[in-house]
Chain A
Amino acid sequence: MSVNWRNIGLFAAMGVVLLLTGAFQSWQLALTILNMSLISAIMALGVNMQWGYAGLFNVGIMGFTAVGGLAAVLIAMPPVGDAWAAGMIGSDQPWRFGIAGTLLGLMLGVATILAAVAVYKRMTPGRLRGAAIIGVIVAGWAVSRFFFAPATSAIQAVNPASEGYLGGLGLPVILAWPVGAVFAAGAAWVVGRISLGLRSDYLAIATLGISEIIIAILKHERWLARGVNNVTGIPRPVTRPVDLQPQPWVQELAARLGWTVPETAAILSALGYALLFTIVLAILIWLAEKALNSPWGRMMRAIRDNEVAARAMGKDVTRRHLNIFVLGSAVCGLAGAMMVSMDGQLTPGSYEPLRFTFLIWVMVIVGGSGNNWGAVLGAFVIWFLWVQVEPAGRWLMETVTANMDVGSELRRHLLDSAAYMRLLTMGVALLLVLRFSPRGLIPER
């Protein structure tokens, strides 16, 4: 295996840029960028599996990361006992309330869909079948609402200012990472079953839709994760800076380095995350490289490059596509869970497709689709730009407006709009790479 000095050089340059950020701006900023870059790199890795290995165009990344984030809440938050039993005590129909009613309602909902599918498959096509399907759906919907509606409204009424949801299982937050991956894989399986095998554009529209729906569910179903009220204070895998500050060794380190204690604690905490994320990323990239260079990976690329030929060789293209779609989405879900556990909060309102779907795409394309290292480098470069373009834009606008009247409307408008420079920059970066270097920074071998 030859050592690729060019790629090592690119990564080294990125490292130097981050070090310079630390030296000239602040080490905390550099570490924040580093940590989010690592998470973005994992997302980009997931997208690269789908796009780079198999040519699948998934624009539902936001949904899969959000589902992963939900896992962090459901696994790590302490259970809200009152909500689990909400309305059950003293009721003559306890099965309509609390956790029992919610689960019954959900199970009946799933059973309805399965029944409708069964009717569709068993009955002969015709008007009768259509009527039967509609009947099953209407009846099933009414029955599941009968349990679901009173149960969830009772849960939401439990201490709504701080709780009003079921809470989680109170397990260690690290467990949420694999569980987040499993959640996203489940969602991806459903989407994939529906839309793979159809044209490539349809997958794009379907995933765009499912991601919006997932966000709508997270925002609206308050019994699940408090919806737009956000869940905060999710346990963290790394000791919080506040808890690090009183430690004698932290104070000693701060004194030796000449930094303030809070700053030292924040940097140590961020370093802890960086270490954890790097381990996860390293494992994933090792697995991804192994997979890419295995017979399975060669088959995937064969399918991507010529579907008809691969089909003629007896490969089940749709099934392989489903495999890789579920795998890639699981990786995105893992990254989503990691991000929520780093932030310590789940804020459904902050999930925007531009930030969580399309930005990841820019990373993959700029980095080099089909190459795992490319996706990682793309994530670092693009996230760095995303963070740094805003202050750069502000500086630019301040320079432009320096001679203007302080109270001028135009000056205020220009200064306010500096934040949107980053969208412009991302678009220009994507278009330039597509046009002049379509294989990206680190091309596929």
Chain B
Amino acid sequence: MDPLSALITLTNFVLIPAFAYGSQLALGALGITLIYSILRFSHFAHGDIMAFGTMVVIYTTWALQSAGITGGGVLPTALMAIPVGIAAMVVYLLVVDRLVYRYFRQVKAKPLIFVMASLGVMFVTNGLTRLFIGTSERRFEDGQRFIFSVREFREWSGLAEGLALRSAQAITILAALLVMLALFWFLTRTKSGKSMRAYSDNEDLALLSGINPERVVVITWVIVAALVVTAGTLYGLDKGFRPINYFQLLLPMFAAAIVGGLGSPIGAIVGGYVVAFSEMGITYAWRRFFSHMLPEGMAPDGMMQLLPVDYKFAVTFAILVIVLIFRPTGIFRGKSI
């Protein structure tokens, strides 16, 4: 019996990856929840917008690298490219809003019409991304790969089990935390943030008190651009960039937003981690963990894997269904339109 080794295995294979993945999902889900509470529709183009923004970041990274500007071999160059990506996405999203969504706001179309329009935007964005960068996997991670590797950890601790912390994972967790704090500061402390919350709570009262709805919408898209590009870049640094993977993030991101409570920013963050930890925990083979935890000779002979990795969607979906049945408004009581 060796609980310490068990804990280290668990940290290495489940806790750290799930924490990083959860942070990426949480940033994505925050975007979905903001669009839902301000523009009042489910934004199906979210995954593809994310891919498009990340693509801009990748091209900028390559340009910076060939110009000799890098993160000094420590930090990934892509971090410096994020502002460029955000700026590009702000322009893209505002142009899309002007060309597509604004008209439907003016004619007060039903929410599902907005969803249809976002499907159109999804197709266009998806096509553009593939047109510009293709469908194959792109890796753009550079700088120091590990904060500490398995070998370094073993030498330092003298333990048999290894633990590694990749730079991309550490950066993801830290950056996500910073972005979330900044967002909450903005929403609770600034006038624009307060006007956004007012608009989301009660549109008519907000209009009555002189809040300009178009300005609120513009701010929302700017924040969404920042969230989406950050989340996409962090995901790409962590797992590599492929447009199809970003498209498939749509389901877990929506699940995170709904589980937490659509329209609730805190909920989106909690939902992101709930989805990520469940996905990882249920598809992880627990044999090694239990062979450390249980007394000698009682080690399990199976893989102790509840579901194969192919079924991670099923896990997401199961959480979603459980929440929909038992608490349709989500953990943090989001809104129900």
Contacts and interface: CB of A to CB of B under 8 A. Distances in A.
Interface residues of B, number: 49
Contact of B313 (A201, A216, A428): A216
Nearest to A430: B120
Given A57-B115, A206-B324, A209-B320, A199 B123 contact: no
A169 interface: no
Interface stretch (A17-25, A40-48, A291-299, A416-424): A416-424
A420 B127 contact: yes
A205 B254 contact: yes
Interface stretch (B69-77, B128-136, B197-205): B128-136
B336 A209 contact: no
Given A201-B111, A202-B328, A205-B254, A423 B126 contact: yes
Contact of B250 (A202, A208, A423): A208
Interface string A202-227: 10111011101100100110000000
A175 interface: no
Nearest to A205: B254
B122 interface: yes
A194 B320 CA distance: 11
B177 interface: no
Contact of A427 (B42, B120, B310, B325): B120
A365 B116 contact: yes
Contacts of A420: 127, 130-131
Nearest to A213: B314
B219 interface: no
Given A204-B42, A209-B313, A423-B126, A57 B112 contact: yes
A141 B304 CA distance: 12
Given A55-B112, A194-B325, A435-B100, A430 B123 contact: yes
A200 B112 contact: yes
Contacts of A201: 41-42, 111, 115, 262
Nearest to B325: A194
A426 interface: yes
A435 B258 CA distance: 29
B208 interface: no
Interface residues on A, range: 35 or more
B115 A354 contact: no
B119 interface: yes
Contacts of B185: none
A430 B255 CA distance: 26
Nearest to B313: A212
A170 B219 CA distance: 61
B120 A416 contact: no
Contacts of B316: 209
B112 A206 contact: no
Given A199-B336, A202-B258, A213-B311, A434 B116 contact: yes
B58 to A, nearest CB: 14
A421 B131 contact: yes
A358 interface: yes
A399 B100 CA distance: 31
Contacts of A141: 306
A328 to B, nearest CB: 16
Given A205-B258, A416-B134, A194 B324 contact: yes
A438 interface: yes
Interface string A347-384: 00000011000100110010000000000000000000
* 7 closest cross-chain pairs (CB), A and B: A427-B123, A423-B127, A424-B127, A427-B124, A209-B317, A431-B120, A430-B120
Given A417-B130, A427-B125, 8 more contacts: A202-B258, A206-B321, A209-B320, A361-B119, A423-B130, A425-B127, A427-B126, A431-B124
